[in-house]
Structure 1
Amino acid sequence: MQCIILAAGKGKRLRPLTDDVPKPLIKVNGKTLLDHVVEALPSAIKELIIVVGYRGDMIREHCGDNFHGRPVTYIEQTDINGPAKALWLAKDLIRGRFLFMFADDIHGKDDMARAVSYTRSIMATTSDNPERFGVIVRNPDGTIADMVEKPSSPSSNLVATGPMVLDQHIFDFPPEAPINDEYFMPEIIMRYKEKYPMAVVEEQFWLAIGYPEDVVRAEERLKSMDK
C-alpha cells in the first residue's frame, strides 16, 4: 500500500520557524514532523510518495531514496495551489488503495492502523476550535455525510485530522471549486463519498501543528508521555 505525503507548503502561519526550514522539517521533541509522520505509519504502507515544493531540496536531503525503510518517490509541486492539486500530481503513480496525509501533524500509530483497516476512511477528532479545520458530519452508519473546509459557523465540533484512505477512483472527481485560488479536498470528498462511502475513524491522539504555540504545546505533550 502506498502513502502520499503532502510536504510542499510554505508554512506561513509558523513563521519565523519556517523562514529557513520547510514546515515538515520543524523539530518537535527532537524529531522532525516528517519523522513523526512516517514513524506512525502502519506496516501495510510499503512505499512513500512525497510532494515537495518550498525548500524541497532540504526534504529530499533529509529523507533520501529510502526513509524509515520505505522507498521514496518525489513529486515537485511548483504551483502551490492546494492539497487537491497536489494529490492530482500523483495520479499516474497511484495503484489501488492508498493513504493520503499531510507532513505537518503528529498522529498515533494505533489510530493510523485502524484507519487503514477500512476500505476507505477519513480520520477525525473533536476540537474546541473547529473553524480552523475541515468540519465533518456523520451519517447514522458512521460514514461521512458532509465536510466543510474552515466554516465560519461550524455545524459540528468533529474535524478532519488529515489522513484519509482512498483509492484510484478519487481521480474520477477532479477538483472544481477553488477557494482563494487553492483547491481543497472537501469538495472532492463530497462527490467521491456518494459512490464510495468512507468510514469516519475517530482519532485518539492528534497534535495539530499550525502555529508556533502549537509546537510548544506538542513538545510539552510528548515530553510528558516520555516520563
Structure 2
Amino acid sequence: MTEAPSPTQAVILAGGQGSRLRPYTDDRPKPMVEIPGTGTPIIGHQLTWLAEEGVTDVVVSCGHLARVLQEWLDSAPLPLRVTTVVESEPLGRGGGLKYAAKALPRHDEPWYATNGDIWTRFSLRRMAAFHAERDAIATLALARPRIPWGAVATDEFGNVTDFIEAPPIPYDINAGVYVFSHEFTPLLPDHGDHERTTFPWLARERRLAGFPLPQGAYWRAIDTAKDLTEAARELRELADHGAD
C-alpha cells in the first residue's frame, strides 16, 4: 500500500437525540452512555482508540444535552486534545460534519470521522493507507454485522437443511467510520445529509472508497438497550479469550 502520513485529527458526531436508548439518554447524550462493566462512556472508548491510532486532536460536535458531555470532557483525563462545537440549529449529518471540520486545527490535512455511537477496534492506519492508495476523496469503513435472529437454510425442494444462529448479513453496511481528504470538506452540504448528496456524487466520480473491516475486528453500533447488553457480553468474551 502507498506510504502516506495517517491523519492526526478527527471529528466525532455526538449530537443525536438517542431516543431509542431511553431512559439512558434522558439525562445524557448517547455517547455519554456507559457500556455495562466498563465504567467508561462510549466516547471515552472512542477517544482512547483514536489516540492509540495516532490522533492528537479531536473536534466533538455536540447537540442534545451538550453541557453534560462538555462537563465530562473538561473533567476526564483525556489522551488527546479535544475541542467541542455546538450547533445553534440542527444542520443534519453532512452539515454537522462541515461545521465541526471548520474547527479542525489543520485544514490542509486529511481527517477521520466517526459517529458517536460506534464501539469498534481496528487499524485506522491501515484504513488511511487504503484511502491513499485509491486516491479517494472519502473512504468509509464497511461492516457485516450479525442479524439478531437465527436463519433457516432450505434446499430447492423446500426441505430445511440447517439452522444458522445469528449469521452475518449478506451485504456490507456503512460502519460510521471515515477517512476524508482535505478537499472533502467544501463538498459537504451546509444543511442536510452527505449520504444523499456528497457521497452519491463521489461514487459516480469513482472517488469514494469502501474499506472492509478486517476479519475478526470488533464493531457494534449502540442504538438500543439490547445493544448495550450485547456489547457488554461480547467484551467479556473478548477479555476471556485474551486471558486464555
Q: TM-score, normalised by structure 2?
A: 0.72
Aligned pairs (5 A) from 1:59-208: 59-64=69-74, 68-94=78-104, 95=107, 96-108=109-121, 110-117=122-129, 118-119=131-132, 120=136, 121-128=139-146, 157-175=171-189, 182-195=192-205, 197-203=207-213, 204-208=217-221
CA distance in 1, matches of 2:203, 2:79: 33
Asked whether the equivalents of residues 53 and 123 of structure 2 are also in contact (C-alpha less than 8 Å), the reply is no
Question: Among residues 5, 8, 11, which one is paired with 2:18 in the alignment?
Answer: 11
- CA drift of 1:222 comes to 0.6
Percent same amino acid at aligned positions?
19
Provide the alpha-carbon RMSD of the alignment. 2.5
Structure 1: 5+ residue stretches without partners: 130-155
CA contact (8 A) 2:48 2:79 kept: no
Give the 3 Å change call, closer, same or farther, for CA 67–162 of structure 1 in structure 2. Answer: farther
Between the aligned partners of 1:67 and 1:191, the Cα distance in structure 2 is 41
CA–CA separation in structure 2 for the residues paired with 1:44 and 1:23? 25
CA distance, structure 2, for counterparts of residue 63 and residue 214 of structure 1:
24
Structure 2: which 5+ runs fail to align?
1-7, 148-169
Aligned-pair CA distance for 1:68? 2.8
Aligned length: 197
In the other structure, the counterpart of 2:44 is: 35
TM-score (norm 1): 0.77
CA distance in 1, matches of 2:189, 2:174: 18
For residues 177-211 of structure 1, the C-alpha deviation after alignment (integer angstroms, 9 at most, x for no partner) is x8xxx524353112234457243211222011111
Residue in structure 2 matched with residue 58 of structure 1 by the alignment: 68
Bigger Rg, structure 1 or 2: 2
Which has the larger strand fraction? 1
